Chain A
Amino acid sequence: MNVTRKLRGLSRELIALRIANELEDGTYVNLGIGIPTLVSDWIEGRDIILQAELGMLNTGPLASRDEVEQDLINASCQPVTELAGSCFFSENESFAMIRGGYMDTAVLGALQVSEKGDLAGWQNPERGLPEDIGNIGGSMDLAVGARKVIIAMMHVTNDGQYKIVKNCSYPLTARGVVDLIVTDLAFIEVTPKGLLLREVAPGLTAEDVQSVTEPRLIISPDLKEMQL
């Protein structure tokens, strides 16, 4: 059932740009699969060090065709490049770093986020696999270990269902871990009182965003259009 109406918002690339603008210089960041990977296109030259969780720090931009090296990939299996100061280590050390609290920010995709900051992102029940089988990958460790978790996603599903929900119905990645939700329509902060709508995509109103969001939004007194 289509519960929402279609609103025109940002492209995936511009969601990534809005998140890139939110990242602070001098921080260590891990980018998940999907829209989060696109954030790397907007931070070249900035003082931000990217971790690839298979065991690399200071991961460079994607490799061009003639730079491809089969032993140099990111966690999405894309060929990448080295930067001055890149280093390599085992996957186990990489997750020690993640759980140890050394990642300032993780940018992750999501299937659902709840108003309490619960994240569901590793298994879509519609695929029909048993509830404990799916691609967990690094998502649970990153959600628990990173100091700040930013979600990058489209505001509703392809068929118009809520993704920002009162309670996640999909299998959880972690409880109460999400700090910010950035979508094609809005910039939302998860607060102890609920979801705070801080910015809307250009041309949209708070009512537009509320109409495609299941929980009641708190409208910031400083509500702004996203600056891109």
Chain B
Amino acid sequence: MDKVYPGVDKAVADIPDGASIAISGFFTAGTPIPLIKALAKQGAKNLTIICMQMGPGNEDINQLIINKQIKKAICNYPFYRSASRGASSPAEQAVRAGEIEMEVYPMGTFSEKLRAAGAGIAAFYTPTGVGTVVEQGKEKRKFGGLDCLLEHALKPDYAFVYAYKGDRIGNLSCHKTARNYNPEMAAAGKITIAAVENLVEPGDIEGDMVHIPGVYVQRVVKVERPRYIPTID
């Protein structure tokens, strides 16, 4: 079972127009930048992307917006903090102009929707968001006196994940805070594509150090470590 693809372009080649894609990464950490660049080059349109943010700490997503490849974005912290950076942000401009639909969820709800999808759970109740705009249109139910909202699983067609180390059968090991959304997105994706800094043979990652079991990963591609300086506004 060898899941290695020869390069990022081959790994994303079959993504059709209208696909939904989860893209991992918390600001600058653990973001599969080479896969985003390959998707911009590949050109699939009408995409739904599921990612923490739309630009801050990950300017590469901007290229997808500029290319008008995105129909809808599902996020939890989509924009720059400062209004002045927002004025020049392609994502914020596209949302303001109505060119991109957007759904925003609380950060914990966002990743739980993905976890549920990967774990075969159809929906779940959470107390987060009760009494706020987040509850609009959602079933509310009391458990032990605590109001909760019904949230549904979110299963993307593809997931782009990133790992420090990966083997040929898809076992992945992450590095420090670059793990973030990677495990849940890997499990949620119908086809999960892992960009790995170090491609190794089965057995080279100690079993106890596998953070994402290979069963969740359909494609592995070796990439150069993207260099960036962590900073956002």
Contacts and interface: CB of A to CB of B under 8 A. Distances in A.
A144 B127 contact: yes
Contact of A144 (B79, B128, B228): B128
Nearest to A119: B132
B79 to A, nearest CB: 6
A21 B166 CA distance: 45
Contacts of B227: 70
A115 to B, nearest CB: 16
Contact of B104 (A33, A92, A133): A133
B20 interface: no
A99 B134 contact: no
B177 A140 contact: no
Contacts of B126: 99
B215 interface: no
B209 to A, nearest CB: 12
Nearest to A90: B183
A139 B211 CA distance: 27
Interface in A133-152: 133-141, 144-145
Task: Tell me what chain A mostly uses at the interface: helix, strand, loop, or mixed.
Answer: loop
Task: Tell me what chain B mostly uses at the interface: helix, strand, loop, or mixed.
Answer: loop
Interface in A59-115: 68-79, 82, 88-92, 95-96, 98-99
A132 interface: yes
Contact of A136 (B30, B77, B179, B228): B77
A68 B230 contact: yes
Given A54-B29, A77-B27, A175-B130, A136 B105 contact: yes
Of the candidates B108, B115, B182, the one having the most CB atoms from chain A within 10 angstroms of its own CB is: B108
A52 B105 CA distance: 19
Interface string B199-229: 0000000000001000000000000000111
Given A77-B230, A92-B183, A133-B102, A172 B27 contact: no
A194 interface: no
B106 A55 contact: no
Contact of B132 (A74, A79, A133, A174): A174
B131 A77 contact: no
Interface in B82-134: 83, 86, 92, 95-96, 102, 104-109, 111-112, 114-115, 126-134
Contact residue range for chain B?
35 or more
Contacts of B127: 99, 144
A71 B27 CA distance: 11
A185 interface: no
Contacts, number: 160
A174 B131 contact: yes
Given A55-B180, A99-B108, A70 B28 contact: yes
B176 A56 contact: yes
B28 A77 contact: yes
Contact residue range for chain A?
35 or more
A93 B228 CA distance: 26
Contacts of A132: 104, 133-134, 136
A137 B180 contact: no
B26 interface: yes
Contacts of A75: 26
B26 A134 contact: no
Given A54-B26, A172-B131, A95 B107 contact: yes
Contacts of A53: 107
A22 interface: no
16 contacts: A54-B26, A69-B176, A77-B56, A78-B230, A88-B177, A91-B180, A92-B184, A129-B95, A132-B136, A135-B77, A136-B107, A137-B106, A140-B129, A140-B134, A144-B128, A172-B133
Given A136-B134, A137-B107, A138-B106, 5 more contacts: A55-B177, A73-B230, A82-B176, A134-B79, A140-B134
Interface of A: 33, 52-56, 68-79, 82, 88-92, 95-96, 98-99, 124, 127-141, 144-145, 171-175
Q: Which 4 A-B pairs have the closest CB atoms?
A: A95-B108, A141-B108, A175-B131, A77-B27
